[in-house]
Amino acid sequence: MLVELIKSTLTPCPKWAKKMGFVAESVAIDARAKRCAAAWEPHQKECKKFILQAVEGCEQTRTALVAGSGACLDLPLKELADRFDRVILLDIVHPITNRSSKLPNVLQIVADITGVGEELYAFKTLPDPVPVPDLYHIFPDIDLVVSLNLLSQLPVTFLDWLQEEGLAEDEALDQFGHDLIRAHLDWLQGFQGVRCLITDRRWEEKDPTGRVISQSDPLYGIEMPGPDRIWRWAVAPMGELDGPVWRENLVAGYLDYTENASD
């Protein structure tokens, strides 16, 4: 607990985002990643391999933009830095354990990828409609965009905060979650380069035998095209959650995401 408190204090982040719980969530994920390192390793390897496969589709290798870089545990950062002139890591929180500072052509940018957080915190009203972000759309040299295990997580901290503050009813919260995800997909498709997407498609809670007890749709009913690859991630192995249950995510990878992808 002391280590997590120190990390929370030292981690740079906009004041509003820290108040909403983004730093606490980042530190908690970092701690879970350490506890569940063995269970997470296959997923991290799949992510790295899949991203490098997406790189092969790039006509040029000027700039790679990674949205949701986090601690870079699931990102082939060194390989991207070797291949591209510049790598931009985009996230609202960059953990102090991040390895990117050792690579001269890697740039960390602290930014709210949704574009709605600061006003949501200030005015405490849901945006209607949720705007499509325009982050980096004007830069012509972005040859690879990676949305990395981010899509399903975009609403989570916002919704937790809104519920704690009692600012919206369940139906409005669900619609907001849906609209955040929809806007991110539209943002991703606004780039001309290769648009690699790795995201949860289903969350499953299982008993010790592996039987599915419950499942949920983290994308709020948004229909997705058929992925290029699917794998499973034991995100909360036995012992991580209360009771004799564990959680596994179904993960989908898209080498170059488009709404017109074939099933």
Q: Is the pTM of this model over 0.75?
A: yes
When divided into structural domains, the chain yields a total of 1
**pLDDT value, residue 97:** 63
Residues 204 and 248 sit within 8 Å (Cβ to Cβ): yes
**pLDDT value, residue 95:** 85
User: What is the token pair recorded at 72?
Assistant: 């870079």
186 to each of 18, 44, 80, 192, 233, how far by Cα in Å?
27, 26, 24, 12, 26
Has residue 93 been placed in a domain? yes
3-state secondary structure of 123: helix
Has residue 136 been placed in a domain? yes
Has residue 262 been placed in a domain? no
Q: In the chain, which ranges are E strands?
A: 63-67, 86-91, 106-110, 142-148, 194-206, 212-216, 229-236, 246-254
Q: How far apart are CA 219 and CA 197, in angstroms?
A: 14
**pLDDT value, residue 263:** 33
41-67 burial code (b ≥16 CB/10 A, e <16): eebbebbbebbeebbeebeebebbbbb
Has residue 149 been placed in a domain? yes
Domain that holds residue 152: 2-254
Has residue 199 been placed in a domain? yes
Which segments in the chain show pLDDT lower than 50? 2-6, 261-263
Has residue 259 been placed in a domain? no
Q: Which residues pair with 210 in a beta bridge?
A: none
User: What is the token pair recorded at 228?
Assistant: 């290029």
Has residue 118 been placed in a domain? yes
Has residue 260 been placed in a domain? no
Strands 142-148 and 194-206: what pairing?
parallel
Backbone angles phi, psi at 37, to 5 degrees: -55, -45
CATH of the domain at 228: 3.40.50
